[in-house]
Structure 1
Amino acid sequence: MQQFQVDLTNCDKEPIHIPGKVQPHGFLVSVSSADLLITYISQNTGHFAGMNAQDLLGKHINELSIALNPTAPAEQLSQLLSVGKHNKSFENINPFGIDINGQAWYIIINPSGNQLVMEFEPAESNLALDVQKVIGRSVTEILSGRNLETLLTNAAAEVKKVIAYDRVMIYRFNDDGHGEVVAEVKNDDLEPFFGLHYPASDIPRQARELYKINLTRIIADVYAEDAPIITYQKDAAPLDLTHSGLRAVSPIHIQYLKNMGVASSFSISLIAHGELWGLIACHNYSPRFINYKARDAAKLIGQLLSSALEYRQDEEDTEKLQQLIAAANTVSGNLKNYGNLQEALVAGKTTIKDITEAAGAAVIFNNTITTIGNTPTDEQIADIATWLQANMSDAIYYTNRFPEIHTAARAYSNTASGIMACSLSKDLSELVIWFKPEQLTSISWAGKPDKPVEKGEDGLLYLNPRQSFEAWTEIVKHTSDRWSNEEVSAVVKIREEIIYAINRKANEIRLLNERLQLAYEELDTFSYTISHDLRTPLSSIKSYSEFLLQSNTSLDDNARRILGRVVNGADKMNLLIQEILNYTRVGRADVKYNKIDMAALLKEITGEVMNALNPPNLKLVIGDTPNIYGDQIMITQVFTNLINNAVKYSSRANPGLVEVKGVVEHNETIYSVSDNGVGIDVNYFSRVFELFKRMDNVKDFDGTGVGLAIVKRIVEKHQARIWFDSKLKVGTVFYVAFRNL
């Protein structure tokens, strides 16, 4: 079997579960599950069997049983294997005690694929006490800790009493795989490791995965030479020792322990919520072996401590989650009580910031940035939003080292080293973003975390374990406190509430728009019907009045004057009705876009207006007339009204001047109609385009107050713009901007 070499490219892939060797304090025999023939065997087995291990390959397990103890029944091992196979488990068998050369040994059996792996190790231990007798007292002492720190320290102290190693540490893994010593009990002559950090490469990913499967791991003597595993099968796959206690150790890790001066190590896994929380790591500075039962008892301590950790962690997490969810519920209530989304999120006593432990938050909604607490500037927040728009693939995004991911954020790392964002609408770039400030952290490593390398004979660079373990301090920048699962849960909840509130408001607006549209259509129909129906009786009133004036010679002057007023009033009302009909027709009509020859149109309109009004001493100038696209009839109404007003209100100037011209700017054609007439009072600016609104200074001029309302309606139907500038007694300029198609 080819030996695996660890270099810079594959350290994290070293197949430590198939080392091809076992530790020499015991020996290993693996048989085929089908026929119990020996297929793999460690070479040191021959030392205990009194024969060459190679000669046992391919033989039935009974032959090994006879070789190990001729006085015991030959079927002892085969019967043991058969019972385990029948029960489909060896849990109740392990460990099984046997006698080898007058000494007590344990057999531990574990399946491995189609193999049954039998590990033989001494029943004797270096411990001077019975672990199982003291385990109960130790567990009681451990669980007496009132907080997490005391709990861990008690656990380290009790494990040291039980297994009597020189140093016992509680080693906690961080999210990135690196570890920290969070509790320690040691002999007085040893330097402390408490608080030191160790890089993830010291216990690489595949090793951490094995710690989740094997809850204890012993290395009895780092200086002993491992025993190779041999097989008679040509090109056989290496034996999988995932569940093995005798499994040999990676050469890198062995050298690592030697460099630390450690001769023996023992570890107990701490599992919380199915993940490796940490290890109870035990070091001894001379070789030390503890047997299977002692290790099993120590494993019980680890399992109880794991349960306590899980409980304490759940207790703390639940309390924190309840606080954050309570804040989220309050903000959710604000969403129902406030009309404005931004106010609901930031204006109350409890705000969007309070649903996390962030220092500040920003709401980006309706193209507006609203902030609360300690946040970057609006320009920097816009930069973050742009980055999130391009890089945010899920509804929730968070990191505690944003400046390392987005280098532009280093400029504001003091406020936004950590960000969490939830998307409200990706298409509209609407977000809520929370910010955590930079936390400059001083980490004390057990030696510089970078592993040294050496060039091998093949020219490749190979990893070597660190030689020095003197404390090495590193200042970590551009990093904030981590976002907890509880904070993420609270953000997920509030996101759903905000989106629900937005959708509810959108539905309300849609319903109001539908009602408004219906009312608008009904009013339009009503206006058209009433205006149309009024024309008949109005015509009758005018006709009878004119008939009386013409046919009745007996009327006195006063009666004739009154009838004349009736006729004039009927004419004015008829004009007003016609204007209302024009206004309603605009609302009903569809825009039919065509290219309009503006030069010809303006010439026709100005001719008709000047003939109709015949103003004295007035000059009308037509400048450039670029063509536009629109509805010919409607555009005629627009310019007829604007030019008619300009001429009418300038007719008393001396001399009067009206100018009409167009200019093309970017994607618009802008026409202006200017005059030097009476002008508009600034107090009336907001009412110029309202229906039936006329200014006080034009009451002496004929008009209905409908013309500009018609103009405004037509312009909006063309998706164009209209505005004006005006000054009393100076004049007015109306501008109409049409989109270029």
Structure 2
Amino acid sequence: MLPVNIDLTNCDREPIHIPGKIQSHGFLIVINQDDIIVYHSDNIADFIPDITPNLLGKHINTIEPIIGKNEPPNFIHQLTIFGKTNGFDQTNPFNTDIRGKAFHLIISATADFFLLEFEPAYSDSTTDVQKIIGRSISEMLADKNLQNLLNNSAKLVKNVIGYDRVMIYRFAEDGHGEVIAEAKNADLPSWLGLHYPASDIPKQARELYKVNLTRLIANVHTTPAAILTVADNEVPLDMTNSHLRAVSPIHIQYLKNMGVESSFSISLIYKGELWGLIACHNYSPRFIDYRSRESAKLIGQILSSALEFRQDEENQLTQELFKSAVDQLSRLMLKDNSIDDALTAHSVNLLNAVDATGAVLIFDNNVTKLGVTPNDQQITSLVAWIKRNVTDNFYYTNQLPLEYPEAALYRNVASGVMVTTLSREMGEYVIWFKPEQLETITWAGNPEKPVEINTEGASHISPRHSFEAWSQTVSGISKKWTNEEIKSVVRLRSEITYAINQKAGAIRLLNEKLKQAYEELDTFSFTISHDLKNPISTIKSFSQILLRDKDMKPQSIKIIERINKGADKMNNMINEVLDYSRIGRSELVLTAIDPAPMIHDIVRDLLLIYNIDESCITIGPTPKIQGDAVMLSQVFSNIISNAVKYSMMADRQNISITGTEGDSEVIYTITDNGLGIDIKQLPRIFELFHRTDNVGDIEGSGVGLAIVKRIVEKHRGKIWVDSEPGKGSTFYIAFNK
């Protein structure tokens, strides 16, 4: 029994990567870099009865004749050396012989140690796994329908491992899961469509599933074997990479409550994150050997790739539709006299930029509604709430009633909203709406009752003990806004702002504010020049004088060098801000420019500065543009150097610079495969002093992109970016012809 204060939320805090035990169907030996045994499981004698009970401190060579009777001397050392260099997936499993019985030796690394895990080289399954996989994978992938693909995959895994029930279990954003495909014995009830709370597979378990793509629990009724180490070693063994790692007692109880005696899972990964699991249950103990598990893992990897391909294909199609709509709206805004009409009065309008059922444009003292929207009074109240509570230029939610309770009155129309601010001072916005999507979720038992009290008054975990269906209706929530919709709106806002600036003229309030801002900026620039640069020069001069003192301690020298470096950094920031302020007042000297020499010079300098191979940077066509050569050199230098800096950590840097010429504009694209930018950061990427959260120690002030945007807009051009974390960024710069 578990203590009274235990419930399923305890799973989130359980240190499952250091259980101190292993499952008893195999045994474990851990060696250090010198091949000395530093840990081992206490059940080795169950497999090798005549072995010395305590192996701690012994060299692995002393027992090699026992654990590898037919192997050459020093074979464990050779395997670890080879695995360190080439990856242990090249050695696993190593077939060996222990007292006449075939075993698989599986090696993995943890900290400074090597885990040597020994498992019997047999399986409870008599299926020829290789033959089944070779014949069935093509059948699994044959159907382009996603649901059929999942169904086929569940059937294939069941044929491979012979478990009673095989489910494909998909995780939602909040961590809870749903059974979306199933293959089972005919006598078992279906669990298709059932939902399970996030606490069933807690957060740290989901993280381990990204590392260990398969996980076997052979028999829930066996007693795990303890891991031994020397008495003064208080460091628990990290078993993140272990195949024999013992199972959480909470999860064992959970499986017992379900009547499950053996389980096996295969991770499904989408873009590096855990999409779901192929979860397999058997109602009697069942052991699967390592090779069969690896074959099942292959099915999971193929299914993961198929899921990613089909999802990307769908995303690309959606993105093209939205891009086409935004391009059309951009052309209409520049062509029509009225921006309002351009966005709302044609067959392609604001509704085509996203997947919404309604939209409102509040612009130039007019309110224009499209599709299904809240009424006028509700829109007025919603806009007042947005003014009070939304500080960024971009906001979206799929559960507006939760954040703005008054919206509950019209949740059937607007449970989801996306807002982009055109002018907060003038109260100008575009708002899109998505309706409530009523959903009845059927849970496998009441998820709110994780602990029950038995007749003796003791509590025990009983996660949905009876597993009877328990329904819950979810309201006030719409379909989520997708990344493609967010990117579309970010770009549309840029196009609207560009069109407004083109058409605004002297009558808009914005011009007056800009004049005032320029005057303030002049004052600010003067203050920086005279009140900040001189003290910084003084700091730098005195620090350099102090460095001449030969009696100064090394620690003091380090501190002064840091002061020196900080003064240089501050001086550079001041110069960049001064550059930013000068751009607005500088006169353009427009000439026909061939950017090719400029770009090649910039690239040559960067190759020397960052010591990278020139094959990493590809320069395509470079059509001529109209502009100020000095300013445009600053634009290309900033964007290309950013591409180099932020892709330095990539396995193989890949930077592309190319221009395309259209009827009315020339567009340059600079693409890299670096850190990328989170979609939530995209709306602010060109703001002064804004730096994204993932840049770490990469040098920068947050001014460069603001300068670039100001220069491009001074040329009456446009700049925007498309990016994804870990996938790199593409900057687009459009110049009028």
TM-score band w.r.t. shorter chain: 0.5 to 0.7
C-alpha distance 461-397 of structure 1, shift in aligned 2 (>3 A) = farther
> Alignment partner for residue 228 of structure 1, among 223, 226, 229?
226
The offset of 1:54, in angstroms, is 5.7
Tell me what 2:205 maps to.
207
- Partner residue of 2:400 out of 399, 402, 410: 402
Q: Specify the alignment match of 2:601 in structure 1.
A: none
Structure-2 separation of matches of 1:277 and 1:413? 29
- Distance in 1, matches of 2:256 and 2:166, equals 17
Q: Does 1:326 align with 2:324?
A: yes
What residue is the counterpart of 1:61 in the other structure? 60
Q: Is 1:30 paired with 2:54?
A: no
The one of 250, 254, 258 equivalent to 1:256 is 254
For 1:439 and 1:415, the matched residues in 2 are separated by: 10
Q: 1:331 to 1:508 in 2, by over 3 A?
A: farther
Q: Any idea what SS the aligned residue of 1:55 has?
A: coil
CA distance in 2, matches of 1:411, 1:264: 49
Q: Is the 8 Å Cα contact of residues 11 and 250 (structure 2) preserved in structure 1?
A: no
1:618-669, Cα deviation, whole Å (9 max, x unpaired): xxxxxxxxxxxxxxxxxxxxxxxxxxxxxxxxxxxxxxxxxxxxxxxxxxxx
Shift of 1:138: 1.3
1:256-275 equivalences under 5 Å are: 256-275=254-273
Residue 444 of structure 2: aligned partner: 446
- Aligned mate of 1:433, from 422, 431, 434: 431
Output the amino acid matched with 1:31: I
User: How many residues were matched structurally?
Assistant: 508
Name the amino acid aligned to 1:64: I
Structure 1 residue aligned with 2:287: 289
**Cα 1:359–1:29, aligned 2, differ >3 Å: closer, same or farther?**
same
Q: How many angstroms apart in 2 are the aligned matches of 1:8 and 1:279?
A: 20
Deviations 1:663-689 (A, max 9, x none): xxxxxxxxxxxxxxxxxxxxxxxxxxx
1:424–1:45 Cα change, 3 Å: farther
Give SS of 1:225's match.
coil
SS in 2 for 1:306: helix
SS of equivalent residue, structure 2 residue 433: strand
RMSD (CA atoms): 2.7
Q: 2:95·2:103 contact (CA, 8 Å) conserved in 1? A: yes
CA distance in 2, matches of 1:12, 1:259: 20
Name 2:567's counterpart in structure 1: none
Q: Deviations over 1:364-385 (max 9, x none)?
A: 2244432211111222223322
Letter in 1 for 2:469: A
| Aligned-pair CA distance for 1:388 | 2.7
- Cα distance in structure 2, aligned partners of 1:128 and 1:485: 46
- SS for the counterpart of 2:504 is helix
Q: Does 1:114 align with 2:134?
A: no
Task: Please say which structure displays the higher CA radius of gyration.
Answer: 1
Superposition pairs for residues 125-524 of structure 1, below 5 Å? 125-453=123-451, 464-507=462-505, 509=507
CA contact (8 A) 1:8 1:462 kept: no
In structure 1, distance between residues paired with 2:445 and 2:131: 40
Runs of 4+ in 1 over 4 A off after TM superposition: 5-10, 51-54, 69-74, 459-464, 507-514
Distance 1:74 1:331, change over 3 A: same
Shift of 1:266: 1.0
Q: For residues 182 and 46 of structure 2, what CA distance do their matches in structure 1 show?
A: 40
Q: Is 1:265–1:281's contact at 8 Å kept on the other side of the alignment?
A: yes
Deviation at 1:461, TM superposition (A): 8.9
CA distance in 2, matches of 1:226, 1:385: 61
What's the offset of the Cα at 1:49? 3.4
Distance 1:340 1:72 in 2: 83
CA shift in 2, pair 1:392/1:302, >3 Å: same
Paired-residue identity, %: 54
Q: 1:325 to 1:29 in 2, by over 3 A?
A: same
CA distance in 2, matches of 1:340, 1:23: 72
SS at match of 2:471: strand
User: Is the contact between residue 70 and residue 96 of structure 2 (CA under 8 Å) also seen in structure 1?
Assistant: no
Shift, 1:269, TM fit: 1.1
What's the offset of the Cα at 1:339?
2.2
Instruction: Give deviations 1:428-484, integer Å, cap 9, x for gaps.
Output: 44221111111211111111122423699xx99986533121111111111112222
CA contact (8 A) 2:195 2:443 kept: yes
Instruction: Say if 2:437 and 2:477, in contact at 8 Å, map to a contact too.
Output: yes
Distance 2:203 2:249 in 1: 16
Using a 3 Å threshold, how does the CA distance of structure 1 residues 111 and 367 change in structure 2: closer, same or farther? Answer: same
Paired AA for residue 80 in structure 1: L
Residue 228 of structure 1, CA deviation: 1.5
Structure 1 unaligned regions, length at least 5: 515-741
- Write out per-residue CA displacement over residues 231-283 of structure 1, whole angstroms, 9 at most, x where no aligned residue: 11525221111111111111111111111111111111111222211111111
For residue 405 of structure 1, report the CA deviation from its aligned partner.
2.0
Q: Secondary structure at the match of 1:139?
A: helix
Tell me if 1:14 matches 2:11: no
Residue 129 of structure 1, CA deviation: 2.1
Task: Compute the displacement of 1:513 (Å).
Answer: 9.3
Distance 2:431 2:371 in 1: 12
Secondary structure in structure 1 of the residue aligned to 2:236: coil
Distance 2:48 2:40 in 1: 12
Determine the structure 1 residue equivalent to 2:41: 42
The one-letter amino acid paired with 1:372 is L
Q: Which residue of 2 aligns with 1:76?
A: 75
Q: Distance in 1 between matches of 2:112 and 2:320?
A: 50
Residues 1:510 and 1:453: Cα distance change in structure 2 (over 3 Å):
closer
What is the TM-score of this pair, normalised by structure 1?
0.65
Matched residue SS, 1:324: helix
In structure 2, what is the Cα distance between the partners aligned to 1:460 and 1:334?
71
SS at match of 1:339: coil
Where does structure 2 lack aligned partners over 5 or more consecutive residues? 513-737
Distance between the aligned counterparts of 1:235 and 1:126, measured in 2? Answer: 38
Shift of 1:6: 5.9
Greater Cα offset, 105-114 or 172-181: 172-181
1:386-407 CA deviation, whole Å, 9 max, x = no partner? 3333433543322211112222
What's the offset of the Cα at 1:9?
A: 6.1
Gap change, CA 1:462 and 1:434, over 3 Å in 2: farther
Match of 1:94, SS? Answer: coil
SS of the residue 1:490 aligns to: helix
Show the 5 A alignment for 1:652-731: none
Task: Note closer, same or farther for the CA distance 1:69–1:110 as it changes in structure 2 (3 Å cut).
Answer: closer
Letter in 2 for 1:225: T
Output the amino acid matched with 2:267. S
8 A contact 2:396–2:416 mirrored in 1:
yes
Name 1:708's counterpart in structure 2.
none
Q: Distance in 1 between matches of 2:269 and 2:153?
A: 15
